Amino acid sequence: MSLILAAILPHIIGPFNKSDENDNAPAKKPGVTKSDWGLVDGKQVYLFTMVNAKDTEVSITNYGGIVTSFITDDKNGEKSSVIVGFDNLEPYLKNPPHLGSLVGRFGNRIAEAKFTLDGATYQLAANNGKNHLHGGLKGFDKVVWESTILPDGITGISLNYLSEDGEEGYPGNLNVTVQYSLTDEDELKIEYNATTDKATPVNLTNHSYFNLSGDLSNTIYDHKLMIAADSYTPVDSNLIPTGEIKPVKDTAFDFTTPKKIGRDIGLLEGGFDYNWVFNKNDSLLQKVAELSDSVSGRSLEVFTTEPALQFYTGNSLDGSFINRDGNPIKKHTALCLETQHFPDSPNQPGFPSTILRPGENYHSITIYKVKLN
């Protein structure tokens, strides 16, 4: 009997050893995969999944350029998404509050949903009370973008959309290309380019909601945030800038050194939803913010060429949408760090210009880098 066991034992043990090895292997090979995700307006929607050498995974759909997940290891080696989202297309068609999406033609608000440019007044869609918000009724977050996987050597995709003259009230045919890529340093890089045949305001951004714990049963109150900004733009009761630029010192808006978001959030009605003006005075790519979470041990560094950042604490999240993990997306369970030009810039001559003219190229880069503390 011992000879029989000796003969068959290697065949019994072998497969179990191989299975154990496979359990520790990366789930997916580095690169980009593409899968069908449904139809919108008769156009094919895809989900692209980018995987790097660390087995970090970012998924993006060409519907609205939405980042659906950004899955990384926490301090215990457990994987979860630091970005709030869904695992199928249907919830995104029910108009969640811009979760993960590309925002344009103009991110943030334009007062009275109108502006005057070169002597002509343009009336935009009023979709935020009497104001215009995030591109209008059907902004860039609600259209199907043309999509291609980037060539070998870059783990990423390119999205293209032609916003036609008059769309949502804007002048000019605006040709927009947005490139998403994932590096082996766990950096999600977003590069925007646009050209136009008529002068038009352009302010593109990404509206991802972050919770670094990866668990929406945790609020963002204990997340620590640093913003490299000594000033901000005050707003009126409709969240329209007054035109002033004020110092953050000795106010709830001071994030020049890291502090917990929950420390001062109660001093503001609803929470934070303001524009911070960076200390940098050029368009070079620089680190402008850092978010950290002790529960997961993760940090998020933000780099951008933009002059400002909208920090929003999910004040309007009401639990009506359920995240992929089965948790309701409630108020203050996620936050946005939207790199941008200032809100209402077309109506504020004292703010940096957002007007793109024929012959010019709109170019902007933002990087979200996740690391362990």
Rounded to 10 degrees, the C-alpha dihedral 134/139/145/151 comes to: -10
Catalytic pick among 207, 223, 332, 341 = 207
Phi first, then psi, for residue 22 (nearest 5°) are: -65, -35
Give the gyration radius of the chain's Cα atoms.
22
Contact 97, 141 (CB under 8 A): no
Contact 181, 175 (CB under 8 A): no
Q: What is the pLDDT of residue 28?
A: 78
| Domain at 31-372, CATH class | mainly beta
Q: What is the pLDDT of residue 281?
A: 85
Confidence (pTM): 0.92
338 is catalytic: yes
Q: What is the mean pLDDT of each run of 10 residues along the chain (373 residues)?
A: 38 36 59 98 97 98 98 98 97 95 98 98 97 97 98 94 98 98 98 98 98 97 98 96 98 98 97 97 95 98 98 97 94 98 97 98 98 95
306 is catalytic: no
Q: Where are the domains of the chain?
A: 31-372
The DSSP-derived string for 210-275 is B-TTS-TTS-STT-EEEE--SEEE-B-TTS-B-S--EE-TTSTT--SS-EEGGGTGGGSSSS-EEE
DSSP 289: E
Residue carrying the six token digits 């979200």: 368
Residue 28 exposure: Cα atoms within 13 Å on the Cβ side: 15
Q: 11: part of which helix (H) or strand (E)? A: helix 2-23
Residue 210 has which token pair?
């972050």
Q: What is the pLDDT of residue 27?
A: 58
Closest CA to 320 of 137, 142, 96, 90: 96
Rounded to 10 degrees, the C-alpha dihedral 125/43/102/168 comes to: -10
Distance between CA atoms of 171 and 177, rounded to whole angstroms? 18
Catalytic pick among 290, 301, 306, 338 = 338
DSSP 327: -
